A = this chain, B = another copy of it.
Amino acid sequence: MKILILGAGGMIGRKLTAALLRKGDLSGQAIQSMTLADVVKTDAPASAIPLHTVAADLSAPGVAAELIAERPDVVFHLAAIVSGEAEADFEKGYRINLDGTRELFEAVRRVHGADGYRPRVVFTSSVAVFGQPLPPVVPETQVLAPLSSYGTQKAIGELLLADYSRRGFMDGIGIRLPTIVIRPGQPNKAASGFFSGILREPLAGLPATLPVGDDVRHWFASPRRAVEFVLRAAEVDTSGLGVRRTLDMPGLSATVGEAIEALRRAAGDEAVALIRREPDPAVQRIIESWPEAFDPQRARALGFEADASFDEIIRRHLEDEAPATTVRS
């Protein structure tokens, strides 16, 4: 079992690498080697399994072909320019998110044509493929109507994944991840950043800003669940997926107020008092255009499971990222 991770340097990529090294196998087959690719060469963690790290821009000529020439059994395609950057730099977004994805799929198709090679390809997509108007609970048959170039590029990736899989060139599966909370590390400028910030910062004794109302509802998964989703997507039986190869992932539908009450239970009133309310109508408008909840029947039937509560999300964050001493006993 050979594995290729594209976008290995990102948050999910690093956690996925660690999880694969802990697990040691995939679909019951021992992992023989892993190639960790990202636009900048990442440090490989210490490992008994041979790890190759590669600096690779998928959209550059020949790069995808070189990576696929190794015939990985499973390709995790997590590489993407994020939403804000894809909107700010139109050409870069299309080059990395669309051309890069297509180059990868074409490289797979060419090797398939030569010898029948047909890897599992796990593609992380996003709820950004959906636009407005959205019903309170988004069904699995909701139209793709992205409100951003990033969402457009992910939707196109989903369509290519489906067609290349339908034609038998690869065994693709796409997963639309919920908004990940609590993202570890520094605050970022993503419009969704405050969802993590209002929990992560107070849990570390730091102030945080809340730009939207407490009644804003959204769809969440912990980083640990996100990694479970990606792993499960590599192992799950895809034979029943039909032409819709991309699945809405289960998530926790919760309001900002519910997240704050979970913070209060975990770290007390003093933590909650660190949240400063600074309503920002521009952010509020963006967030209100996002889905509030999904009905991910197909993913649930395949064993994908959501976090049960924000209490669980906070507990996982503290176990995985922060010193245990910040948890109230």
Taking the complex as formed, is A238 at the interface, i.e. its CB lies under 8 A from any CB of chain B? no
Taking the complex as formed, is A160 at the interface, i.e. its CB lies under 8 A from any CB of chain B? yes
In the complex, chain A residues 120-143 whose Cβ is within 8 Å of any chain B Cβ: 131-133, 140-143
A-side interface size class: 20 to 34
In the complex, chain A residues 152-177 whose Cβ is within 8 Å of any chain B Cβ: 152, 155-156, 159-160, 162-163, 166-167
Taking the complex as formed, is A236 at the interface, i.e. its CB lies under 8 A from any CB of chain B? no
Taking the complex as formed, is A243 at the interface, i.e. its CB lies under 8 A from any CB of chain B? yes
Residues in chain B near residue A141, CB distance under 8 A: 133, 142-143
* Least distance between A289 CB and chain B CB atoms (Å): 10
Give me 21 A-to-B residue pairs in the complex whose CB atoms sit less than 8 angstroms apart, sorted by A's number.
A90-B109, A90-B167, A131-B242, A132-B243, A133-B141, A141-B142, A141-B143, A143-B144, A144-B144, A144-B155, A145-B243, A145-B244, A146-B159, A146-B163, A147-B243, A152-B159, A152-B160, A152-B162, A152-B163, A155-B159, A156-B159
The 10 tightest CB contacts between A and B, nearest first, are A152-B163, A141-B143, A131-B243, A145-B244, A152-B159, A156-B156, A144-B144, A145-B243, A155-B159, A149-B163
Q: Which residues of A contact B (CB under 8 A)?
A: 90, 109, 131-133, 140-147, 149, 152, 155-156, 159-160, 162-163, 166-167, 242-244
